[in-house]
Structure 1
Amino acid sequence: MDLIEKRLIERRIIFSCLALHTPSTFSSNNQTDFLSLLAMKKSIDVDPNGALNSWNRTTNFCRWNGITCGRMHPDRVVAINLGSEGLIGSLSPHIEIGLLRRLEYIEFSNNSFFGSIPKNMSQCKSLVYVNLINNDLSGNIPLEISLLYNLQSLYLGKNTFSGHIPQTIGNLTSLGAISLRLCGLIGEIPKSFSRFRRPSFLQLAQNNLTGTIPPVGKIHSEIGSLVGLKHLRLSNNNLEGPIPLSIGRIFNLQILELGGNRLTSRIPPVFGNLTLLYSLSLERNNFSGTIPTSLANCTKMQMLDLSINNFDGPIPQEILISTVCNFLDLSHNALTNSIPLEFGSLRNLEELDLSNNKLSGLIPRSLGTCVSLEGLYLHDNLFEGEIPKELSSLMGLTDLDLSLNNLSGSIPSFLGNLNLSFNSFQGRVPTTGVFKNTSAISLEGNIELCGGILELDLPPCTSTSVASKKKNLSTPLKIGIPVAGVAAILCFVVFIYKRRTPDKNMPYVPSFTGIRFLSLSYADLLKGTSGFAETNLVVSVCESIDFRGNDFKALVYEFKAKGSLDKWLCCINSEQEGEFRNLDLIERLGIAIDVAHAREYLHCGIDSIIIHGDLKPSNILLDEDMTACVGDFGLSKITSSIPESSSSSTIGIRGTFGYVPPEYGMSNSVSTKGDVYSYGILVLEMFTNRRPSPTDDSLSENGNLQNFVSAALPNRVMEIVDPLIRMGPHMIETVSWKIACALL
């Protein structure tokens, strides 16, 4: 007798014994549900959180943890929610889940259930939602699952299934969302998928699927097609052949991921029909030809990745003018000509990778207007000439790789972490800023460089090279990133201003809060910080004239010891750094209040209205006592003198997708209401620890974070609260329920 047979006999015996001791007040129906749940509990071997402690014969099963009974049938189970409980046990066919005939909702994700999907689940004809993501399930996806005709959402990703996707899955015509990512599935994509009536989310990435992409947009007049899809993810499989032209019929498509396959031919021009597309990933394939200009019709495009293909020809100017990309990767292709000047129109661009192509000419000065750039990768091309001084405007630039080109001239001192190796730079290497850290720079292959810190082991500079440096470097380059970066941090919340004792002869200027700030000249600030060394920054303000007669303004604030809120919410990253960070409920509430005060001050605290435009966790800084400050104010993002009657502006303010309101993507106008929207998203993220990202599978059913939270109100708040909040369950439920209701 094998283990499975033993367990089957054991469960039958338990079922019979329990039936003898079940109170007679139970009806036959609710007694069946009661005994089925107890049998399910028996199949669970490990319950680290005590999630099933309330599952006993003395408590009505409708009050058990994770169990919801219906309104029409108050004695029947309609939902089981045991997600993220650390449970270890079997979901073998021998559990009696098929007897829960009124069951509509199953949430078992993020546990360690093993075995196969119970075939008798097909008897739960009322099921509309099944989520088994991230477990240890194995075996084939049972054909019987195709009998759940009312099923609308099926999430089976991150398991170790085998075999094919059942062709009969097309019988589930009501299915709107299906996730089979990282399941070990083989074979072709079933053509029966086209029978879905209201599809919105199809995730088949990271499997071993083969064959071609079926004509997903083919219209079937009787039973519909996939034209309603919003998210289509087929990346990291073994699909081959061209992209079907019928894909141009999926007019509602927002995310398309086909990277990491063996797709060939050209990108069809019908992509221009997908005007709602904001994320397109075609990387790591065998596409060829030119990049189609029809992509310019995708005016909402925010992420475009065409890297590691065989594209050739110039970069289309039309795409740069019409889209709003904040991530653009065209690396590892055979693109030619120069970088178009139109790149300067991408003011929201955060990362640009054009490396490993055949681009030539000068690095355009217009890149200096891409004020949101954080990463710029132009290595392994044919660029020549000097590094344009306009790049000094990129105050947020942290990574720059210009290696393996034909660049020449002197090295400016304003650069951040950089790779300038194998070029033709000459003259003295700066010794300030990033040039003090040998691990942050790479200068090999530039034989005419001299000076720098001793660790670089470069020859000393002659008088000729020093004179050349003085000729080439202007005063703005000497100011550099240190002051510009700090000047971008304006802390408008709860100013805890620790001033040093000032010189009685120095003038003061009033601040918005009534505190008087020490006013310094440019020369004072330059001298007092030893050339703007980061170790010597003071607390103060400066409005003066630099040595070339240009206006110079700077705001310098205290270092915020606790870093950004983003690092405290992403506890996994913190663990990897050797420190486990977590915020309790009171700390999160205090931070939310601090940010609310800051937002109110920006909008109402002075005569002018200031629109932040990018409220998100990485822009919230925390000081030693966890007081929150709002940061990341680029000077181009501050709008002043806006009439009270008109709180919108057409100034291009950077925003991060997921945090800015949808209307920002349809026009250039911004408003104070947009900041209020961003604040609401920020608070929801703080208390659920879920990012408002379209790539988050857990939000796919609801579409976005606000709908995800709204769907849990008022009875399922505890299911969405961040489990890392350190506080008693009763207090969490009370406080989080009030916060969520107030926000919505």
Structure 2
Amino acid sequence: MALLAFKDMISSDPLGALSSWNHSLHFCEWKGVTCSRRHQRVTVFDLRQQKLAGFISPSISNLTFLREIYLQENSFNGQISQEIGHLFRLRVLNMSYNSLGGEIPANLTRFIDLQVISLGHNYLTGKIPVELGTLKNLKILELGPNFLVGSIPPSLGNLSSLTHLYLLSNNLEGSIPEELAQIQNLVSIVLTDNKLSGIIPSSLYNISSIESIAVVENHLYGSLPSDIGISLPRLQFLLLGANQFTGRFPISLSNASRIQWLVLGGNHFSGPVPKDLGSLQHLTKIYLWGNQFGTGKADDLSFITSLTNCSYLDTVDLSKNRFGGIGIYKTFITGTIPTSIGKLRNLQEMFLYENMLSRQIPSSIGNNTQLNLLELHENNLTGSIPSALGNCKNMEIMLLSNNKLRGALPRQVIGLSSLSIALDLSHNSLTSSLALDVGNLIHLAILDVSINKLSGEIPSTLGKCESLIELYMDANYFQGTIPSSLSSLKAIQSLGLSYNNFSGRIPKYLEELQLLTYLNLSFNNLQGDVPKQGVFSNASAITVIGNDNLCGGIPELKLDPCPVLDNERKGKSHISKVIIPVASGALFFIFFLCASVVLYWLRKSRKKSSPTTSIEGQHVKVSYAELIKATNGFSSANLIGVGSYGTVYKGILGHEENIVAVKVLNLQLHGAAKSFMAECKALRNIRHRNLVKIITSCSSIEFGGDDFKALVFEYMPNGSLEKWLHPKVDEQHQLRILTFIERLNISIDVASALDYLHHHCHMPIIHCDLKPSNILLDEDMNGHVGDFGLASFYSKIIRNSIESQSSTIGLRGTVGYIAPELPRERKEMGDVTKEMHTIRERFLGLRVHGE
């Protein structure tokens, strides 16, 4: 009767967890129910992760032999009944990850054998009952995240068996009780994201069993004991970020060989970082940002070398400190390169690549005349390349690729004769032509200017660069013929000229470049016969696709044969056939000449109009190369969204630099190609002010030869409705809250779009995947429905069939989504706080009976 009373208060059971709960089976055989063998009394009640909704019936208290309750990860509402205190045999109480409210029952203290209390991820209010301190057998106490207030009861120090204390993400105030140091078996203490103040009691650092201390995002202060690495030998997680700690980095931490996470960011620590930090070989994350570490000397970052021993390391953040020297790469550093960097007159090498640096490259770097290596690639740098870099007469390597650099390519840089190893300017938006000064790079081995907006002809002076081994000029606007001067590049091994506007014939001298093993001439306007010797004899070494007027070549290229000339027929005709009336011949010649001129200009005008120069018209053509340029090589910096079948990038398309959104389909996913066709079919003939406008599509081949499909849409500057309703942590301070009127207007916009799709199209269309992330907002906050990858046409035949039957053709949409989608985001925390939940699961082990 107690179990059936529990069932009666369940309002939703989508998985049918309680379908077996009837009189046809003995209650000990019901799902989630475990009975004692001897007396057939219910001892375990386990309905975790069943998506149950409703209220927890007080009748559960009638199961007086109950020892373990597992109701976590459901959708229970209401309060925890006071009657639960009658279960005096209870050992495990787990109701975490629900929507329970109210206060924690104080009479939980009747559970003299209770070992686990897990009530986190609910909406509990009030204070932590001081009576919990009487539970001598309690091992795990998890009460966060919730909305608990007040202070941490000192009585918790009486929990002599406690190993894990989780009070994270509440509104707790006051200090950390000194009494907690009495818990000699404590393994984890997690107090992250509260309003705690004061110092961490020094006696806590003497509990040798501690593996995890997490107090991120509080108001704590004080310093770390110098012997912390010795007194806490089992320490694995030390998370002190976003507080007000001071003092120096304890050298003894190098002895805590088990440490995995070291989070000290956002405090006031100072002094040097130990050079042997790399001895902590289990480190995976180091956050030292926002402190005063360093002394400003050149050797401040010498500890980075030792980190090469940390094979598990995936995150290092050293930003906003006082480190001297330059060698900070792959550390996610943001901000700008300071102009004061030009004061380091003896600087020889600068490594700042693979970070998130933004704004311009300071021209003051040109003052570092001893600089011989500059690596700034893979950042978010903008503006032009400073011509002052030409002052660095000792420069051997300059890598500026994968940024957002614009403007002309300075002749002082492209002609810097000291460059001898590599000059990489690829994946930017550089314009202008290639200056004649490029001929000064006579010692350079690698030159890469691909995926930019460079134009004009290849300067003949490039032939002077006889040391070039690799030359890449792909995906630009170069034109004209391939100059004969390149025949001087005897050392060349790789040559990329694809996706440009080169014309004329393929030079025969390319056959004679004996070291050439890679040649890409694809997607140009080349014509005539393809050579067959040298690199052209190996089909895997060359690419010539996308040149419609090429012919011949080796059979593996599968090009059309070149037309046979009529020279062999001369002299074979009778002399009488040669005597053709002069007047007829002259007329025919004039007619042929005029026709050829007309056809030539028609073809030339077509070729001029083929590149994407405007996106104002409908159904313009766009190439794979143009999309690469538009999105800066599909850079992660331009990523604006990820969907079920593809990725969306922001791009600048065409000479008019129109801003667009490019949806690239991941054709490796099953159904992606079908989704592309479905979206093209759906968007082909529909137009409405509240539908995302499609500009064009692209079905082409990537540089590697794989299929490529993409859709180009009008850019929506305010993103999706999803991010306005449920912003991420790093967006919360950038987005305002939608007003009621804005929400109402967006709802009307969506309703108008659906009304059009259902009732006013040439054939009704069912979207099948309507949700906030597929509703995009323009600059005026007008709603536009997008993503028609799952759309279906709703013909009258199907409509009549459905109306005559009470059935559906099948559910479609995003897996796991059924409207209305309202994810529970009560509190947003930083990345460290979120990841602590994963740590919690690791230590709690709540899925194992009894622990």
Structure 2 length-normalised TM: 0.43
Rg (Cα) greater in structure:
2
Structure 1 length-normalised TM: 0.48
